[in-house]
Amino acid sequence: MDRLADVRAIDGRGEADRVVTDLARRIRQGDLVPGQVVRLRELAERRGIRTRALVMACTSLEREGLLTLRGDVAVVAPLDLGEVRSAYELLRRLEPDLITRASALARPEQLERLRAMIPGDGDDRQTSSAVVINFLTELCRPAASGWDLRIYDEIRRDLQRYLRLGFQVIEGGSAPGRSRRAEDSDRNALCHDLLDRYLAQDVAGLRAVITEFRRRGQQVAELSFEAGHPSRRTLRLG
């Protein structure tokens, strides 16, 4: 329970929903790891809310596959290899078309902003990862509908904890021949290459770079399964 001691409220929602929002954030960030037990009764007492209200609010996290509820106890859901592979398959279907169509629609001021968004190799890791996510979203935006962007955001949100845990494996030295510095440098180089081809409206080149970008991302995400956390190595594609 020590790892839950700093759960903070977020203004504008009911207290149970605030707790659930923070639980979801901490699971996706890898602060709460697969298999970890969350005692909802104790958490509810600390936050001054009814246990039943918190349990009911947590059903949304169960539907998202982040928690499993067992009465007034929740367990952080195991990792699912099928989820990772399905998410990257969907990105490979979605991104090339969106980005190539968007390359013909982007305005000059957007292109200048995109170049400035790419982080440097020495930038803060957490910040630069978030910036790259925003960079890819902005590449898609000129051709994306609101529906496209919602699907895109959901896929990336689902991948977040796998990438965080995968990078933890790299940083812990459990992935021979790989380092976080090299991963960040390669990622930033791919961002520059992607933008150059975007500017040139090089459709074949764009597709090749996007494919490589996602191949490397999937490699990192799948490293999360080397951390010894509970996992389901099932495969669900489609």
Do residue 41 and residue 68 come from a single domain? yes
- Same-domain status, 119 and 224: yes
- pLDDT at residue 11 in the model: 35
Q: How far apart are CA 158 and CA 86, in angstroms?
A: 11
Residue 24 counted as domain residue: yes
Residue 149: C-alpha distances to residues 18, 38, 91, 113 (Å):
25, 32, 12, 19
* Chosen domain end from 77, 111, 128: 77
Specify if 56 maps to a domain.
yes
Has residue 234 been placed in a domain? no
Please tell me whether residues 220 and 110 are part of one structural domain. yes
Q: Of the residues 77, 105, 124, which one is the last residue of a structural domain?
A: 77
Q: Are residues 50 and 92 in the same domain?
A: no
Same domain membership, residue 215 and residue 163: yes
Instruction: Give the CATH number for residue 63.
Output: 1.10.10.10
User: What's the confidence (pLDDT) of residue 4?
Assistant: 55
Is residue 192 predicted with pLDDT exceeding 50? yes
Domain with residue 140: its CATH number is: 1.20.120
Domain check: are 30 and 88 in the same one? no
Task: Give the per-residue pLDDT at 131.
Answer: 81
In a domain, 238, yes or no: no
pLDDT at residue 14, rounded to an integer:
86
Q: Is 135 helix (H, G, I), strand (E, B) or coil?
A: helix
**Domain membership of residue 67 as a residue range:** 2-77
Q: What is the pLDDT of residue 133?
A: 82
The pTM score is: 0.82
Return left, alpha or beta for 33; rule: phi > 0 is left, psi -120 to 50 is alpha, else beta: beta
Task: Please check whether residues 65 and 85 belong to one and the same domain.
Answer: no
Among 77, 105, 127, identify where a domain stops: 77
Share of the chain above pLDDT 70, in %: 89
Does the residue 26 lie in any domain? yes
- Do 92 and 201 fall into the same domain? yes
137, 28: one domain = no
Q: Categorize the per-residue pLDDT at 33 as very low, low, confident or very high, splitting at 50, 70 and 90.
A: very high
Say whether both 95 and 204 belong to one domain: yes
Asked whether residue 237 is domain-assigned, the answer is no
pLDDT digits 0-9 by tens, 43-67: 999 999 999 999 999 999 999 989 9
Q: Tell me if residue 9 falls in helix, strand or coil.
A: coil
Residues 175 and 156 occupy one common structural domain? yes
Confidence of residue 125 (pLDDT cuts 50, 70, 90): low
Higher-confidence residue of 165 and 6: namely: 165
The verdict on residue 235 lying in a domain is no
C-beta of residue 88 within 8 angstroms of C-beta of residue 163 = no
pLDDT for residue 42: 94
